[in-house]
Amino acid sequence: MRLVWLSGTLALLLLGGLAWYLEPLEPGVFALQLAFTPRAFGDIIHLWSAENLARYRIHLLMDFALILAYSVFGHSLASRLRMFASLSRFWSWFARWCLPGAGALDVVENVLHGWLTEVPRFGVPLVYTVSASCSLAKWLLLAAFALLVAYAAARTET
């Protein structure tokens, strides 16, 4: 259980630190993550100052530590807590791999955002769609994990 506590605490600290670091960005990072077209992406980037764009690009490097922390946390939590054993074989497996899957999608999103924010790249609309799709899928997996934790906890209580 030490790994669960360490990775969970680290993930919370990194999430809080990155949220604080990115707070000046307006529109926020979430809007950029769900920009499915070059125009939508460019409209957001052009509202940011050069300093804020640099801030965003630096955050991408720090975000890899958060991805690792939340991936380890999710896998270790779902692997070690008995409440997940009461789920069906599929849902137990899904709970273990939900956050690492979200992390893998987050890595793809970060790599693409690093490339897309380096210089204007409007001739590659598919890359914007893939990036935003990875982000959307990541957020859906994170929500699914939270729901699975709540469901498994509720089943354990009864």
Distances (CA, A) of 91 to 54, 104, 148: 40, 19, 8
Give the integer Cα–Cα distance in Å for 49 and 54.
Answer: 9
Neighbours of 51 (CB within 10 A): 9
pTM: 0.93
Residue with tokens 């993550």: 33
Predicted local distance difference test score (pLDDT) of residue 85:
85
Predicted local distance difference test score (pLDDT) of residue 120:
84
User: What pLDDT band is residue 72 in, cutting at 50, 70 and 90?
Assistant: very high
DSSP letter, residue 154:
H
Amino acid at 154: A
Give the integer Cα–Cα distance in Å for 50 and 11.
Answer: 28
Give 86-139 as a DSSP string: GS-HHHHHHHHHHHHHHHHHHHHHHHHHHHHTTS---S-HHHHHHHHHHHHHHH
Give the integer Cα–Cα distance in Å for 69 and 147.
Answer: 20
Give the integer Cα–Cα distance in Å for 1 and 41.
Answer: 41
Amino acid at 103: G
User: What pLDDT band is residue 139 in, cutting at 50, 70 and 90?
Assistant: very high
Per-domain boundaries in the chain: 2-157
